[in-house]
Structure 1
Amino acid sequence: MLGLIGLALLLAEPGKAASQTAEAKTLRIVFQTPEASFDPGSVSDEVSISVTENIIEPLLRSDYLARPAKLVPNTAEGLPEVSADGLSYTFRLRKGIFFTPDPAFKGKPRELVAADYAYSIRRHFDPKLKSPSLWLFAGKIAGADATREAALKTGRYDYDAPVAGLETPERHSLRIRLARPDRNFAQVFAMAVTGALAREVVEHYGQDIGGHPVGTGPFVLKEYRRGNKIVLEANPHFRELRFAAETNPDPERQAIARRLHGQRLPRVQRVEVAIIEEPQSRWLAFLNGEIDVLPLPRDLAELAHRNGKLSPELAAKGVRLQAHPVPNVYFFFFNLDDPVVGGYTPEKIALRRAIALAYDTDEAIRQLFKGEAIPAQQIIPADVYGHDPKAQLKATRFNPAEARALLDRFGYRDRDGDGYRELPDGKPMVLERASVTSTEARQADEFWKRSMDAIGIRLSFRKDKLPELRKLHRAGKIQLMSEGWNADYPDGENFMQLLYGPNAGQENAARFKLPEFDRLYEDTRNLPDSLERLGKFRRMTELVIAYAPWRLTHHLTEHDLVQPWVTNYLKHSFQASSWIYADIDAAKRRGKP
């Protein structure tokens, strides 16, 4: 119950600070896994992105209520001006936007300018940063890759060296020239990883920049205890921003639009984020009214609803159940550079296929995900361009007998009679699966152990926290691991980049490098939406099933429980948080049971 103790301290600290915030509108949020950093150049996990996007702003954002997703200006005056050949993007910034005061600015107001975005983009090319988001820019911006190559040789990235594709012709104008057309390039500038950092701030805090985010956004970081407590407060220097959104036929969104119309944002004065790893502790915190929005833990889904109908107990309290489609895909990946499971020879492919055949997706959904998922038959999920609703690719086929026969055929046999197979050369074979430290992960470990025992493969486990495991798989030091991906933007290219060869060491966790796949991926980046483009996406999925760098498992369906005193809260498919829009009815909160 350490999570609950920490939460109680977070929400009920004694003294002056508590009395000052007693009447403030406070949104209380919980996450399962700890943050890694609040540096846009380093973030990749949900909690880090959620906090960062509320402090450090990108040029664009997603319309809160529009479905399908729609880009709208944020710090930019409008959407980018794109040249006829698709190679030049010009952003014009709003004037009069200022960073929050900070010692890095020596007590002087500091306006946001185009050079801040140019600098922040360049940081992704700095090898010392090891940006997990480099794939968004690598090979795209004219001249930028050369600066990275020079830094790899000299050991120092030159932020003052000219880059042909990054220009600031005026103080509030940013022009980006591409090496080739990229149909989704504007989408990148609605992501937290493209938020603007001031060079002075980065140089002032150095290696500690991840814990000192300074931006222009609606909130500022007020308190921070790594892995335990994050408190944001409304930025008193934030520009006047009033809600505006296009109409939507959905009744819930219409109601939100009416309530928010013309209202100044953000609606709350404070956001308190707790990190509670155990599902039961998160559940109890919500029932006690200590959490305002609870992403429903899978293990406890049956306590909250049956087939989307809220339990009578929760309904009587006024709790709302929000179901939201999430464009995601989950899979387990093999490290293709690993000497045991990696490689492209027939026996290596056979081993990976056998492991894939031994995994029972339907049973995993019942046992591990409590029915809160559907089998994944293709890489690109529904509601994302490139998904083929008619495709029957049998990506989650379960057949342990076929798996055993495949292993026998390619020389993976039990030679010493201990019940476990050896490698074709007779050496011992032990697979190592990486997983996080949580109750849910332990249950998954047990499921995996049973699955591998059934085909005679010995399995061990490497346990650590998710940020550490992701560092390891980017370094090529993980053999086998389950992962997932939520769409950054609604196009299949965003999913296929996870298997693009040049992205190995970044988001290509499998380190998959197949020339045919890479050519198809490059084609899809340039083609207009068409049957030809859809066909290439399908072929890429077929190659992944054939070579088995991944085994697709499922698409999660997600539910949030929302307290009755919370209004305007919706989960957005392409925006990590809704904190700027959420509101709190303080009278209802005070009257809670």
Structure 2
Amino acid sequence: MRNVLLAALAAGVLAAAPLRASAQAPAEPKVLRYAFRSDITSFDPAKVSDTYSNTLITGMFDAPVRWAYLARPFKLEPSGCELPEVSADYKTLTFKVRPGLYFHDDPAFKGRKRELVAADYVYSLKRHYDPQTKSPNLYILESAGVLGLSELRKKALQNKTPFDYDAPVEGLKALDKYTWQIQLARPDPRFVNNLANPMAAALAREVVEAYGDRIGEHPVGTAAFMLKRDEWRRSSRIVLVKNPAYRDEFYQEQAPADRPDLQAMAERLKGRKLPMIDRLEVAIIEEPQPRWLAFLNDEADFIQEVPFEFITTAAPNGQLAPNLAKRNIKMNRYPQADINFTFFNMKDPVVGGYEPAQVALRRAIGLAYDVDREIRLARKGQMVPAQGLMPPGTWGYRPDLKTEMSEHNLAKAKALLDLHGFKDVDGDGWRERPDGSELRLQRATQPTADYRVLDELMEKAMRAIGIRIAFKQAKFPENIKASRAGKLQMWNLAWVATTPDAGYHLAVAYGPNGGQANHSRFDLPAFNRLYEQQAVLPNGPERQQLMDQANKLVVAYMPYKISGHRIWTDLSQPWVTGTERNVFRRDFWQYVDVDMAAKAAAER
């Protein structure tokens, strides 16, 4: 195998090629290798909201339901439970756990074979309410008002006592060994979608209690893969292996009628036992160049989201490059249901607040920032401008909408600043605040090439309107932690949908979600009312109108400068089949097959 990576990568970031099987040896394990651009934060479903952690969690734990992988339009299918019975008023959901699902073997079970039961889902969802958990996803449950649990949480906080997991609550209970129920205070026609999210995954109480604060290092679920703990190297390498006791599940995917290529693939794979690979090896490679070179030199079987710096090399004008086509490399391009943004901490004394002058400052920053330059220079054309919070691929998105969110207008930005008293008082070329104090911004960033380009674009935009800005570097997990604690003034990141509904993204501006989905801590009563009103309505014109009004408020107050929605280009080696993506499913590798004979032949 050719190796162009740095010595450090060869020493541990990428796995060495497995030994080829001899005639007498067992069949060589099927291995899929690819890379994350950032490390995970935890393996605890109740403590994470980042894509990287959730991707691996989805493969190890069973949420109650999941998105059918190839189905279009998107639809839910059973996972740990059958599809629920939902009451006519959308307030009561009753689930049946699928009998015969067992947790991975673990010392916490003391030699017992531990079956998944209804009480496990009840316990796992309650963990989000436990103040000690500090769940970033609590807002998903609280927004629908699961009866009795917010009160139980409040009691623990007020009395400074441990959360009482055994206290009965009306809104979440096991009815028998396999049946459990959720009751909501308000109708929520789409609440079940949230239970396809990894945050709804089932854990065993005895495992959580056995490992305590280290539960995030000991994932024990019921799904297709298990963590190979002795091969886990933080910030370097993560290995999952197939669960030998995984239930009988078979490839039965139904491809959409307008995709004959996917129909042919589904027919070839039909009836195959899942998962089809034995081992998943994930390297943590933050810099784009070594991630790209790893794929080019056959050290990775798949590359998710070709780095923007190399997209014109990989797919000039949206077509697979001839040199890659000759190698029979396969390409998949698709719009990602996400928003890419810089948030402003609304509690920060420099950029926060709802006073006209503070709103003007944020709007001026947004107008000064050139989204088209970001798309051309940083994203290499692999992004479309955003007009607000709602991304493509979700219900509620308006492809015909045009707002100030995507506008670049330096004259308008300067006029707003002048009008509201942000002027150069001392003649040094930099604006001061209306009270004469220094105006200096600080945006959090990360030590990678792609962030350096984004930082340069922001610095240039601020210099053009006379505002100082500095950048503070940290790695992604540290920035996430600081952001949730309200310690960042500004930060650029993405919010990726887990459900095909734009209400998921409106939640990032809902006041009660501050410190969770709402990184900006925006808390505007008018927006909150609109968010609550649309949440209880079925999809239709009335809901769309409310969502549009809420989006207008975000554009006007600018707690987020939303730059765009990414277009992802994935490449896979010729020996890999099945990497076509459902953007709402993280564990695509459950549906992937690797032809190890073809791979070995290519390496010779």
TM tier, smaller? over 0.9
Matched, 1:330 2:340: yes
- Where does the alignment leave 5 or more consecutive residues of structure 2 unmatched? 1-5
Contact 1:25 1:584 in 2 (8 A): yes
Q: Look up the match of 1:141.
A: 146
- In structure 1, the residue matched to 2:28 is 23
Aligned match of 1:234 in 242, 245, 248?
A: 242
Once residues 197 and 541 of structure 1 are traced to their aligned partners in structure 2, the CA distance between those partners, rounded to angstroms, is 37
Aligned residues: 590
Report the counterpart of residue 179 of structure 1 in structure 2.
185
AA partner of residue 589 (structure 1): K
Letter in 2 for 1:288: N
Distance 1:97 1:496 in 2: 36
Per the alignment, residue 3 of structure 2 pairs with none
Distance 1:392 1:422 in 2: 32
Q: Aligned ranges for residues 341-380 of structure 1 at < 5 Å?
A: 341-380=351-390
Asked if the contact 2:51–2:496 (Cα under 8 Å) also holds between the matched residues in 1, the reply is no
Cα separation, 1, equivalents of 2:576 and 2:485: 42
Q: Deviations over 1:248-290 (max 9, x none)?
A: 2111220221122111100011111100111110111111111
Tell me the TM-score normalized by structure 2: 0.95
Q: Tell me the residue number matched to 1:221.
A: 227
Q: Does 2:92 match 1:82?
A: no
Which residue pairs with 1:541 in the alignment?
A: 551
C-alpha separation in 2, matches of 1:592 and 1:164: 60
Find the counterpart in structure 2 of residue 451 from structure 1: 461
SS in structure 1 of the partner of residue 341 of structure 2: strand
**Change in 2 beyond 3 A, CA 1:480/1:587:** same
Residue 462 of structure 2 is aligned to residue 428 of structure 1: no
Pick from 67, 72, 77 the counterpart of residue 72 of structure 2. Answer: 67
Amino acid at match of 1:278: E
Alpha-carbon shift at residue 389 of structure 1 (Å):
2.5
C-alpha separation in 1, matches of 2:166 and 2:211: 19
Amino acid at match of 2:300: I
Q: How does 1:306-321 map to 2 (within 5 A)?
A: 306-321=316-331
Q: Percent identity?
A: 45
* Contact 1:3-1:276 within 8 A present in 2 as well: no
CA contact (8 A) 2:13 2:285 kept: no
Shift of 1:42: 1.2
Post-superposition shift, 1:13?
A: 8.0
User: What amino acid does structure 2 have at the position aligned with 1:168?
Assistant: A
Paired with 1:312 and 1:125, the residues of 2 have a C-alpha distance of: 54
Cα offset, 1:568, TM superposition = 1.5
Which residue of the partner structure matches residue 274 of structure 2? Answer: 265
Residues of 1 paired with 2:54 and 2:223: CA distance? 13
Structure 1 unmatched runs, 5+: none
Give the structure 2 partner of residue 251 of structure 1. 260
2:366 and 2:405 in contact (8 A); partners too: no
CA distance in 1, matches of 2:587, 2:107: 28
Q: Which amino acid aligns with 2:398?
A: D
Relative distance call for 1:218 and 1:316 in structure 2 (3 A) is same
> CA–CA distance in 1 between the matches of 2:383 and 2:481?
27
Cα distance in 2, alignment partners of residues 261 and 369 from structure 1: 37
CA contact (8 A) 1:285 1:291 kept: yes
**8 Å Cα contact 1:6/1:228 also seen in 2:** no
Task: Read off the aligned partner of 1:263 and give its amino acid letter.
Answer: R
RMSD: 1.7
Q: Which residue of 1 aligns with 2:134?
A: 130
How far, CA to CA, are the matches of 1:129 and 1:14 in structure 2?
A: 43
- Counterpart AA for 2:263: Q
- The superposition leaves residues 162-221 of structure 1 with CA deviations (integer Å, 9 ceiling, x where unpaired) of 111111111000111111111111111111111100000001111111111001111111
**C-alpha spacing 1:88/1:8, structure 2 compared with 1 (3 Å):** closer
Which whole-Å deviations, capped at 9, do the CAs of 1:511-564 have from their partners, x for residues lacking one?
Answer: 011111001000111112221111111111111111111112111000001100
CA offset digits 1:41-92 (Å, max 9, x no partner): 012222211111111111111111111211001121x310012222110000
Report Cα offsets for 1:108-133 as digits up to 9, x if no partner.
10000000000000001111111111
CA distance, structure 1, for counterparts of residue 345 and residue 320 of structure 2: 42
Distance of 1:334 and 1:117 partners within structure 2: 36
User: What residue number does 1:589 align with?
Assistant: 599
Amino acid corresponding to residue 293 of structure 1 in structure 2? F
Structure 2 counterpart SS, 1:569: coil
AA aligned to 1:243 is Y
| CA positional deviation for 1:26 | 0.4
**1:505 corresponds to which of 497, 501, 515:** 515
Greater mean deviation of Cα atoms: 478-487 or 19-28? 19-28
Q: Does the CA contact (< 8 Å) of 1:332 and 1:481 recur in 2?
A: yes
Distance 2:346 2:454 in 1: 23
Q: Distance in 1 between matches of 2:153 and 2:428?
A: 51
Q: Secondary structure at the match of 1:232?
A: strand
SS of alignment partner, residue 468 of structure 1: helix
Paired residue type of 1:51:
L
Task: Pick which of 382-391 and 220-229 moved more.
Answer: 382-391
The residue correspondences of 1:100-111 to structure 2 (distance < 5 A) are: 100-111=104-115
Cα offset for 1:321?
1.1
Shift of 1:333: 1.1
- TM-score norm. by structure 1 comes to 0.97
Distance of aligned partners of 1:238 and 1:508 in 2 relative to their CA distance in 1, 3 Å threshold: same
Equivalent-residue separation in structure 2 for 1:406 and 1:240 (angstroms): 63
Structure 1 counterpart of 2:32, which letter? L
